Structure 1
């Protein structure tokens, strides 16, 4: 019972209880720190008890019924039955079902027993180590490998009984955060709302007054050459007081913050926490702007889509039509579509639906071509040059009707 419970007990739970001052948990951790001594003591004790029980039963049978082969056979059968049922099966089932309680309870008598039998255990372990050395094996101490990401993921997935599904989803997203990069959540360059200084004053004023975003990248003619970031609300307040002057607008720009493609989301999240900037331009190795990432994009990756008064920064709001389809742009991010539409398109390859289809076809397709990827039917509606512009997604039959609400 004791060895089963001690070997199956959750060590992280024991560490938590020990930090709360539970003496039993501290003793369990001390015992598990040297598993070779612990197991040797438990097995030695078990064998001594088993041998003593068999001896007592055999002696009682001989004393009561005489010394003959039938009596010895019966005594052996009774001893084996009792040991299997009461010495092996029942204790091990109890230890496996209640490892925490049994482990902490048994630690109070195992701790002094390990100390008492330590000379004998040391001699036995020395002999065992010598025998293992013949096979080039070593006896490991009670160190336990740290909890891996997959262990943590499995624990969250198996916690359906006491963690709500929404909370599990958030925990899984947090676990994945270290493996994701800004490329997975950024707004592609073609969808960035930016302000062009070469536009007329009236056009600039109208864009500022109608924009749903508080921060806008600003360029002059070439969208890839960002001159700064405009804080729209602050600029509107300034212009309302002093009147519109393009020079004053330029002076109010904040320097753009560039990050390389492939930056970890966790790293970027840490930067946003430690700095006032909440917007960064993603560039490739040649300095070309690939997209834009904000603090909101990272938060949505962890928490799910956030409700806003304006349209989603990743494009129009998505919902399944009555005919169970939805039309998306070719530059739509695969991860974004999976999250907002409940799909299961592969995310370990191309990041956009355009790239995903091109990889699957290994060719530049024509319009009105249909294909299926991971059980999701896709229909190409528009191709321009070498780029797929619009795609019709058919809702998989595996999605339940209760997932058909507006997302985004």
Structure 2
């Protein structure tokens, strides 16, 4: 029998190793490719990206042809190495063992590890570049791939392993949130903050950001016309709740601009009753995103939050929700003391009614958000009583000092440095 030239055998071995490297790189690239980036490239007209997405959607056939080609080439490489060793060493067992070790190392380095590492680092580019050759090979080897897949399915059936039905590759809200968190490197800090705030709308309720009942500025129809006119002239809101006698019993909402337009002959209670509109009530515990949709559907901008017994708890506006998304942009009325800028050299002084969520966002503190909504509520829950002025404590990793109490509430609190202000 005529001996095959060694040069031909070495060339064939090199071709097998290179082609096996192609299949190894293709396997990693197709599985590690970012589908979102491929989708974007496909929408921009990349035919390679479209073909790669098509192959990725046929996972079973794709893996079948890759594994078939890779294993066939590796086995051929081992056979060629054996033939070469026989020709060089004339059936020497030691030479055969050495050739087996060398071809194994060559397969491991040149056909497996190196191409897979390179493909993993450039998965999208590799997937696009290899998509056309893979498609052609898949068409040529489709009968063999079909037979392999059917055999595998038959074995799985014998083992009573049930394959799950093909499901659409959808992303859960938590996965999308993690994707948004990872996008901080690619978008501006402001845009990333807005994106993350949108996710919080599903978790935050109207109770977390409402204006408490005692801070609501409202008109009392029982007041004299002069007092009504003075309150309207000096108010800092465009819409005001209206009550008569009992402040908890809101009977309507008036638009200050409409009142001023009608006030040529003085402001009286009857005139306010004629122009005020029905109040819009919001159940306690409503999610901010849901309430935003309700405001849009009902053409409302202000809602009164009530509990299950109809008791007034607070007030929320469309602007309050928008500020949770994009940050503060409205002018703060002089009678509302945010106190976030009151420093005394060792700490910052805040009002007890400050929302924990606002403190965490503006000062980058870590107060718990699963219980009370305000700093006052958190402190009272901690002590189970109203603490005395001068009391110090540690909450949420912050050192606090009670500066002033008033009645049943903690009025002002000092948050000692260091806090992580942005």
Aligned to 2:92: 68
Residue from 299, 303, 319 that aligns with 2:322 = 299
Aligned to 2:8: none
Tell me the distance in 1 between the aligned counterparts of 2:403 and 2:314: 25
The alignment covers a number of residue pairs equal to 398
Tell me the distance in 2 between the aligned counterparts of 1:47 and 1:136: 27
Alignment of 1:333-348 (within 5 A): 333-348=355-370
Of 219-228 and 8-17, more deviation after overlay is shown by 8-17
Aligned to 1:325: 347
Of 255-264 and 11-20, more deviation after overlay is shown by 11-20
Determine if the alignment matches structure 1 residue 361 to structure 2 residue 383: yes
In the alignment, structure 2 segments of 5+ residues that lack a partner are: 1-24
In structure 1, the residue corresponding to 2:91 is in which secondary structure?
coil
Whether the 8 Å CA contact 2:243–2:251 is kept in 1: the answer is yes
Q: Which fold has the larger relative contact order, with Cα–Cα distance below 8 Å and residues 6 or more apart in sequence?
A: 1
Residue from 375, 378, 387 that aligns with 2:400 = 378
In the alignment, structure 1 segments of 5+ residues that lack a partner are: 404-408
Tell me the distance in 1 between the aligned counterparts of 2:303 and 2:340: 25
Determine if the alignment matches structure 1 residue 181 to structure 2 residue 202: no
Alignment of 1:8-407 (within 5 A): 8-133=32-157, 135-140=159-164, 143=167, 145-239=169-263, 241-308=264-331, 310-311=333-334, 315-384=337-406, 387-399=408-420, 403=422
Distance 1:335 1:311, change over 3 A: farther
In structure 1, the residue corresponding to 2:54 is in which secondary structure?
helix
Tell me the distance in 1 between the aligned counterparts of 2:67 and 2:400: 63
Deviation digits for residues 169-224 of structure 1 (CA, Å, limit 9, x no counterpart): 11111112112211111111111111111222222111111111111111112111
Tell me the distance in 1 between the aligned counterparts of 2:229 and 2:215: 20
Q: Following TM superposition, by how much is the alpha carbon of 1:83 offset from its aligned partner in structure 2, in angstroms?
A: 0.8
In structure 2, the residue corresponding to 1:55 is in which secondary structure?
helix
Whether the 8 Å CA contact 2:239–2:255 is kept in 1: the answer is yes
Tell me the distance in 2 between the aligned counterparts of 1:134 and 1:349: 54
Tell me the distance in 1 between the aligned counterparts of 2:296 and 2:385: 43
Distance 1:311 1:21, change over 3 A: farther
In structure 2, the residue corresponding to 1:218 is in which secondary structure?
strand
Tell me the distance in 2 between the aligned counterparts of 1:235 and 1:78: 93
If the length of structure 1 is used for normalisation, what is the TM-score? 0.90
Tell me the distance in 2 between the aligned counterparts of 1:24 and 1:312: 62
Tell me the distance in 2 between the aligned counterparts of 1:371 and 1:12: 49
Deviation digits for residues 18-53 of structure 1 (CA, Å, limit 9, x no counterpart): 334432222222222231221121111111111222
Distance 1:24 1:142, change over 3 A: farther
Tell me the distance in 2 between the aligned counterparts of 1:86 and 1:326: 62
Q: Following TM superposition, by how much is the alpha carbon of 1:287 offset from its aligned partner in structure 2, in angstroms?
A: 0.6
Deviation digits for residues 269-303 of structure 1 (CA, Å, limit 9, x no counterpart): 12223343211111111111111111111111011
If the length of structure 2 is used for normalisation, what is the TM-score? 0.87
Q: Following TM superposition, by how much is the alpha carbon of 1:377 offset from its aligned partner in structure 2, in angstroms?
A: 1.7
In structure 2, the residue corresponding to 1:179 is in which secondary structure?
coil
Whether the 8 Å CA contact 1:36–1:141 is kept in 2: the answer is no
Deviation digits for residues 101-143 of structure 1 (CA, Å, limit 9, x no counterpart): 1112222122232233333223322332343345543345764
Q: Larger Cα Rg: Structure 1 or Structure 2?
A: 2
RMSD: 2.3
Tell me the distance in 2 between the aligned counterparts of 1:100 and 1:141: 27
Distance 1:250 1:143, change over 3 A: same
Q: Following TM superposition, by how much is the alpha carbon of 1:332 offset from its aligned partner in structure 2, in angstroms?
A: 2.5
Tell me the distance in 2 between the aligned counterparts of 1:363 and 1:300: 33
Tell me the distance in 2 between the aligned counterparts of 1:344 and 1:324: 19
